[in-house]
Structure 1
Amino acid sequence: MITQEQKALRTVPYRYDLDGLRGIAIAFVVLFHVFVGRVSGGVDVFLLLSGYFFLGSQLRYASRDHASANPWWPIWRTVRRLLPGLLLVLGATAAVALTWLPQMRRVEIIDQFTASLFYVQNWELAAQDADYNVASDTVSPLQHLWSMAVQGQFYLLAIALAMIVIWLRRAGINLSRWVGPLLAAVTVVSFLYAWYLHGQDQSLNYYSTWARMWQLTLGGLLALYGHRVTLHPRLQGLLTFVGLAMVLSTGVLFDGAALFPGPAALYPVGGAVLVILGGGQGATAGWLARPVMRWLGDIAYPLYLWHWPLLILSLALLERDAVSIPHGVAVVAASVVLADLTHRLVEKPLRQHAKRPTAGEARARAARAQLRISSAARARAVGGAALAVVLVGLLTVQGVWQARLSSADGAALDPAQYPGARVLLGAEAPDVDPKPEPDLVGSIFSRVWTEGCISRFGDDPRVLPVDEQGADCIFGDADGDREVYVVGGSHAEQWVVPLNALGQEHGFKVIPLVRQSCPTFVEDRAGVFEPDCAEFNERVVDRLAEADPDLVLSTATRPAVEDGGRVEELPESYLTFWEFLAERDIPFVGLRDNPWKTFEDGSELSVPLCVLDTGDLYGCGVGEDEFYQASDPAAEILDPLPNAKAVDTSGWYCADGQCPAVIGNIFVYRDGNHLSVPYVHSLAPLLWEEIAEFL
């Protein structure tokens, strides 16, 4: 029995005005990304229209009497629609980024190539805690592909739903009447989840497929029921005009990255809904259906793919951190040209043009026959083979990178060839290329990071990682009867590396109580640190009071980066922690911080990537007086205290007024301010000289 929904779906006319809406939505995405640096809401409209067109088409096919129950065909058709353009853009991006832009050779970007290929980029960005940033020369050129991942995942779910409808119809169960209520329930639940998650974790909310699902399923609902809404043509024309105005004004009124897909997304999505309910009536709909607008809709997908890599890669190649008007115009023009060429020369020839097969149709056999008699079919096969080569090449990027990273050996460099800080004790440094390779060193982390022994941004500040991880977060000699606690932020954490070696040699255990960007204090007297940091520090001081360790070690100075500072200071909040230790007679060693390499505006400059780009070991380093005060500001406070000591480490990084990028054939830094794992490991003998008296 054919239901009313099935009959209606078979007679829904194609809406060319919605092609135009899709095109102008993506055009505004491009313009706002390039010239405004904000989210325009165009992607939200694009997702709604994807649900409208794709889910509608799947359900229309499922309503046919002889629909094929083979899921391969809709998947293959979708792959041929989406993958050629994506492979072309990813291949070009990889060629430029990995060949000419060392700053793009970062482990998180390498991982994103694979994530983009498998349509999980949104979850990869969420796992990397990546905010949706405005364009700059350091942002990932693949950041925008999160929405393609959401769309791809939805397409698989839509195909699965259509297949279930077909399979159950063959079993005598008509599910069609329940599809609409099911989509309505999913839409409501997803919207409520997006509303909830907006207040809990907006970064995850922005990328989450489940928070975005309501926009796609709402499009599916409109495909099912939108054509049933009958209104006066003049009212329909008014709805289309108002809806388009809402879509186009979204980027001016809302900061989409901070608000969508929560309730605020109802504004652009609601505008698109009004256009759909307008039924293609009125002058506005006529304008949207004009050939030029339909052409813009045709190239919307490749335009979206191309514009962001072109923008980011050009910023990096031109060494700019902002977009000028001429530069932006050039990016937009190049994006449009490449999008049109991609559509005409790649997408259209490789797209599945034939209708989907019905049950029993031998489509694969017919395709093989076409290869023997049709030059166009052979050309398509060659094009597909070329893209398959690109696919294989892209899939090897992450594997090759991981192999290089594994062979970099972390801290275990040959001390005869790579003495590092040992040259400060008289060791000779032979004439060899420094290690680790500058494009790899930034991806080599200590076990504190890889074993989850540091509390990261977003982690529960009430939980100390050592309490969750247990023995995995106890370093040095786990059976030692003396305890050294390392407390503070990531600049304190890096000292666990040499302490681990020293603990194994001298029989003491090392326990890190560290959190990102969270120096240890009892009271935040400057009011510059996050509430989570204060809460974490409450747990730290409670643990120290209970443990009464043999030694506590941390950094004693830092620049006031929260206020744009670039020179080391002694934060007043540190004194509250030192007083706490002194009252309990807990020994403390405060290490002077290592230099930070920054631009004039305070943003970070990666030292190893600077060397890779310029080869200037000193120019990529830091002038000693650019960071350090004339004397260690912590010494006059710590040295008079009982059981406390200030260690001036400036000589461990600087000589003759310069703090170079390489010492003893080892890169000193892994980024702009953190010491590399092998270099800080080489500091173990110097550190032992300073702490041996306590142990």
Structure 2
Amino acid sequence: MGASDTRTRDGVETARQPVNRLPYRYDLDGLRGLAIAFVVLFHVFVGRVSGGVDVFLLLSGYFFLGSQLRYAGRGDASPNPWWPIWRTVRRLYPALLVVLGATAVAALWWVPQMRRVEIIDQFTASLLYLQNWELASQQADYNVASGTVSPLQHLWSMAVQGQFYLLAIALAMGVIWARRAGLDLTRWVSPLLVVVTVVSFSYAWWMHLVDQPLNYYSTWTRMWQLTLGGLLALHGHRLAFHPRLREMFTWVGLAMVLSTGLLVDGAALFPGPAALFPVGGAVLVLLGGGQGPVAGWLANRVMRWLGDIAYPLYLWHWPLLIVSLALWERETVSLAHGVVVVAASILLADLTHRRVEMPLRQHARRPMAGERRARDARSQLRTPGAARARAVGGGALCLILVALLTVQGVWQVRLHNAGGVLLDAARYPGARALIGAQVPDATPKPDPELVGSMVSKIWIEGCISLFGEDPQVLPVDERGADCVFGDPDGTRDVYLVGGSHAEQWVTPLNVLGREHDFRVIPLVRQSCPTFAEERDDLFEPDCVEFNQQVLTRLSEADPDLVISTTTRPYIEQGGRMEEVPDSYPTFWDFLADHDIPFAGLRDNPWKTFEDGSELSVPLCFLDIGDIHECGVVEDEFYRSTDPAAAHLEGMPNAKAVDTSAWFCVDGHCPAVIGNVHVYRDSNHLSVPYSYSLAPLLWEEIAEFL
């Protein structure tokens, strides 16, 4: 923290500034700008993670944590936490609010397919610097640019940075408050940072093997990059190296930073051990001490300017890229398109820096103990000038903040209303149109921008086992009566088993159970169809464990009927047509051996691109409004006959239910049937449409009940 002479003022021990202040490292501004420039170029032209964000985080720790701790080491440091927080808010929020406001206008008004609840939630998460956790909760992998990717995806790193800043301020305030209480904690700061760095890096290494998507976003796995920067700020200048060795450090370090994206895929590896390559390169540049021709080049006027605009450049480039892809209906970036995006990003970044960041940034030095900075600021507002102009600008940004925070609330009200009111069956017959119901002229419901977030009660009540949850636990055992649907007092039991394509049938079964006095008990897990033996090498070991619990429960319960799906495409291998996976009949044989009745439902169509990747049906409808173009050609998904029938017809108490006529008419499976959107994404049924399937489903299972 640095030694300093002390004296007393107003009874409080204070300190003068250290005599030998460290020179500012302008070459690191250039490194920061270059790192972000490579992030932009790789996002736009390469579609890979360059490692620039990892370097940016290290430098954030170097500059911010180092600054906070050096200030805390001063005896006359102010104990008021408001000042560092306010200074940080004025540094980060103005540019962020301008970019988020512009993105909201462009994405929500001009790009209908971005009016999705998960993106609306991300606006609030970005404002509150929680975007990394929001993306993790949405199980959003860090994807390359396309028209369907969130325009706010890149703000995960700003969230990590913002959370770290608060922790850094808290640490510095703790040192200041402890000293005022007579306890010197400065000697413990560096050991603490060493421990945090080692533990965080070890955690990132472990998480890379366990859950890489969460590893990529987590604040705790990224912490080592920031605290390592802080340690270098405190102690890096004490490491003495020969000048020529320092020059070599800078050359090698810069080469490592710039080559990272060409050598590794950061999204699949960082912040695990592979991140030591770009971070290690940045460390070498730091240890280079700003000496040599490379450091001089990094500190030249152009590179320092690039460092100045690095933050707004990072903010602007991704929304411009994603929104333009969606507007121009492109999945890839052409050279001309990329050049336009990069040029526009640089121009907007420079304008944002000069017209928004600099005027609203706090330029005065941080106040010392006893200063009355707030009183002085109020007095400046009494006369016309820069202070009033800053206040007006700040007020305008506050209005943008309020407007953006309101968006999520409005969307949640719309979602609540859409999900809480049953559609009028006369105007929106859904599947009943297939059995003679009249279909009046009406706009399809529910709103396609909302339907994706409308889920069944199994999800709402937590009755489905999710990725990462203990496969040994059946949710019905934890949730009890909350996970029993239909008639809770019914004397017959229908078990619904399988993955999410089985889960969606709980909506009509819940209706039928109440009408016909049977209970519906779900034993379902995300992406986990039911089988007795895994023969396809498609499903996770956790799924095998979960299915063992399901089989044990079914053999003990002896249900009146088991329902599940019987077909699916080999989507993992790019397949687009339905198949009967080899694992499925092992479950059917188990049921036959235990004399348990089974109704096997043929799967509904999946909307995919030619390579097997998924295409959201409601978002397609939002984009082009064509129920046929956004639907599926029947013989591109369905076989000529139900492939499960041959297996089930010869088994006792088993029935193959061919559901294809519930989704397809005259060789086509449209996006809308009976004025109701059939799907909530690329392959799952919407809640309103599955609700309308109740009478058709009853005709098929009534014989068992």
Shorter chain as denominator, the TM-score bin is: over 0.9
> 1:49: how far off?
0.8
TM-score, length-scaled by structure 2: 0.95
Counterpart of 2:555 in structure 1 is 545
- Structure 1 residue 9: deviation in Å? 9.1
Q: What is the Cα deviation at residue 292 of structure 1?
A: 0.5
Residue of structure 2 equivalent to 1:24? 34
Equivalent of 1:623 in 627, 633, 658 = 633
Which residue identity is paired with 1:556?
Answer: T
Q: How does 1:49-64 map to 2 (within 5 A)?
A: 49-64=59-74
**Who is 1:205 aligned against?**
215
Per-residue deviation, residues 447-490 of structure 1 (Å, max 9, x unmatched): 11122212222223232222222222111112212111111221
Greater Cα shift, 595-604 or 542-551:
595-604
Q: Distance in 2 between matches of 1:500 and 1:226?
A: 65
In the TM superposition, what whole-angstrom CA distance separates every residue of 1:259-306 from its partner, at most 9, and x where no partner exists? 222222222111111111111111111111001010010011111111
Q: Does 1:325 align with 2:335?
A: yes
The equivalent residue for 1:468 is: 478
Aligned residues of 2:117 and 2:449 also touching (Cα < 8 A): no
Paired residue for 2:290, among 280, 295, 319? Answer: 280
SS of residue matched to 2:464: coil
Contact 2:151 2:318 in 1 (8 A): yes
What does residue 685 of structure 2 align with? 675
Instruction: State the partner residue of 2:447.
Output: 437
The structure 2 residue matched to 1:79, chosen from 89, 96, 100, is 89
Which of the numbers 389, 395, 410 marks the counterpart of 1:385?
Answer: 395
What is the identity, as a one-letter code, of the residue corresponding to 2:487? D
Alignment of 1:309 with 2:319, yes or no, is yes
**Could you say which residue in structure 2 is the equivalent of 1:361?**
371
The alignment status of 1:574 with 2:584, answered yes or no, reads yes
| Counterpart in the other structure of 1:564 | 574
The residue aligned with 1:402 is 412
What is the rounded CA distance, in whole Å, between the counterparts of 1:509 and 1:163 in structure 2? 58
Tell whether the 8 Å contact from 1:474 to 1:510 is kept in structure 2 after alignment.
Answer: yes
Q: SS in structure 1 opposite 2:448? A: coil
1:212 Cα deviation (Å)?
1.2
Amino acid at match of 1:3: A
Equivalent-residue separation in structure 1 for 2:381 and 2:456 (angstroms): 55
Distance 1:191 1:563, change over 3 A: closer
Shift of 1:605: 1.9
* Aligned counterpart, 1:3: 3
Q: Say whether residues 1:34 and 2:44 are aligned partners.
A: yes
2:8 aligned partner: none
Larger deviation, residues 83-92 vs 55-64? 55-64
Q: Which amino acid in structure 2 is aligned with residue 135 of structure 1?
A: A
Matching of residues 264-279 of structure 1 within 5 Å:
264-279=274-289
- 1:489 corresponds in structure 2 to 499
Using the TM superposition, give the Cα deviation of residue 411 of structure 1 relative to its aligned residue in structure 2, in angstroms. 6.9
* Contact 2:2–2:18 (8 Å) recurs in 1: no
Q: 2:574·2:613 contact (CA, 8 Å) conserved in 1?
A: no
Q: 1:248 aligns with which of 243, 258, 266?
A: 258
Distance 1:268 1:261 in 2: 10
Residues of 2 paired with 1:321 and 1:130: CA distance?
A: 18
What is the alpha-carbon distance in structure 2 between the residues aligned to residue 307 and residue 539 of structure 1? 49
Alpha-carbon distance, 1:663 to partner = 1.6
Residue 621 (structure 2) aligned to one of 592, 602, 611: 611
Q: Match of 1:530?
A: 540
Partner of 2:609: 599
* 1:407 Cα deviation from its structure 2 partner: 0.4
Q: How does 1:79-158 map to 2 (within 5 A)?
A: 79-158=89-168
Letter in 2 for 1:284: V
Which among 503, 508, 511 is matched to residue 513 of structure 2? 503
**Bigger Cα displacement from structure 2, 548-557 vs 461-470:** 461-470
Counterparts of 1:304 and 1:90 in 2: how far apart (Å)? 13
Unaligned runs of 5+ in 2: 6-14
1:423-460 CA distance string (max 9 Å, x none): 22322222222211111111100011122212222223
- Aligned residue among 646, 650, 654 for 1:636: 646
- Partners of 1:204 and 1:528 in 2: how far apart? 22
Q: What secondary structure is seen at the aligned counterpart in 1 of 2:139?
A: coil
Q: 2:351 aligns with which of 338, 341, 346?
A: 341
- Cα displacement string for residues 134-173 of structure 1 (whole angstroms, at most 9, x for unaligned residues): 2122211111111111111111111112222222222232
1:9 and 1:443 map into 2 onto residues whose CA distance is: 61
Q: Is the counterpart of residue 376 in structure 1 residue 374 in structure 2? A: no
Change (3 A) 1:528 1:210: closer
2:464 is the counterpart of 1:454: yes
* TM-score of the two chains, using structure 1 as the length reference: 0.97
The residue that corresponds to 1:518 in the other structure is 528
Read off the aligned partner of 1:489 and give its amino acid letter.
Answer: G
Aligned-partner residue type, residue 186 of structure 1: V
What is the deviation of 1:26? Answer: 0.9
1:590 matched residue in structure 2: 600
Q: Distance in 2 between matches of 1:230 and 1:569?
A: 67
Alignment of 1:69 with 2:79, yes or no, is yes
Tell me the residue number matched to 2:227: 217
Note the C-alpha offset of 1:519.
2.0
Matched, 1:427 2:437: yes
Distance between the aligned counterparts of 1:326 and 1:565, measured in 2?
34
**Mean CA deviation greater in 652-661 or 380-389:** 652-661
Q: Which amino acid aligns with 1:88?
A: V
- What amino acid maps onto 2:418 in structure 1? A
Structure 1 pair 2/193, CA: closer, same or farther in 2 (3 Å)?
closer
* SS, match of residue 514 in structure 1: strand
Work out whether residues 551 and 587 of structure 1, in 8 Å CA contact, stay in contact via their aligned partners in 2: yes
Q: CA deviation at 1:504?
A: 1.3
Q: Distance in 2 between matches of 1:434 and 1:539?
A: 41
Report the Cα distance in structure 2 between the residues aligned to 1:267 and 1:170, rounded to whole angstroms: 42
Q: Is the 8 A contact 2:113 2:622 kept in 1?
A: no
- Matched AA of 2:333: V
Contact in 2 for aligned 1:80/1:351 (Cα 8 Å): yes
Mark the CA change 1:196 to 1:559 in structure 2 (over 3 Å): closer, same or farther.
closer
Alignment equivalent of 2:301, drawn from 276, 291, 305 = 291
Q: 1:552 Cα shift? A: 0.6
Mark the CA change 1:526 to 1:168 in structure 2 (over 3 Å): closer, same or farther: closer
- CA displacement at 1:238 relative to structure 2: 1.3
Q: CA deviation at 1:363?
A: 1.5
> Residue 623 of structure 1 aligns to which amino acid in structure 2?
V
Distance in 2 separating the partners of 1:4 and 1:260 = 40
Is contact 1:594-1:653 (8 Å) kept?
Answer: yes
Alignment correspondent of 1:175: 185
Bigger Cα displacement from structure 2, 148-157 vs 592-601: 592-601
- CA distance in 2 between counterparts of 1:269 and 1:477 reads 59
Conserved? CA contact 2:123–2:152, under 8 Å:
yes
The residue type paired with residue 124 of structure 1 is E
Question: In 1, distance between residues paired with 2:2 and 2:654?
Answer: 85
Compare 434-443 and 453-462 and name the one that shifted more: 453-462
| Pairwise CA distance, 1:80 | 0.4
CA contact (8 A) 2:62 2:226 kept: yes
CA gap 1:2/1:263 in 2 versus in 1, 3 angstroms: closer
| Superimposed CA distance per residue, residues 621-675 of structure 1 (whole angstroms, 9 cap, x where no aligned partner) | 2222222222222223322322111112122122222222222221111112111
**Equivalent in the alignment of 2:10:** none
Whether the 8 Å contact between 1:66 and 1:359 is mirrored in structure 2 is yes
Of residues 198, 205, 212, the one that matches 1:188 is 198
CA–CA separation in structure 2 for the residues paired with 1:53 and 1:450: 45
Cα RMSD (Å): 1.8
Cα pair 1:501 1:684 within 8 Å, conserved: yes
Q: Residue 134 of structure 2 aligns to which amino acid in structure 1? A: E
| Aligned-residue identity in percent | 76
Distance 1:164 1:528, change over 3 A: closer
SS of aligned partner of 1:518 = coil
Q: 1:614 and 1:304 mapped to 2: Cα distance? A: 31
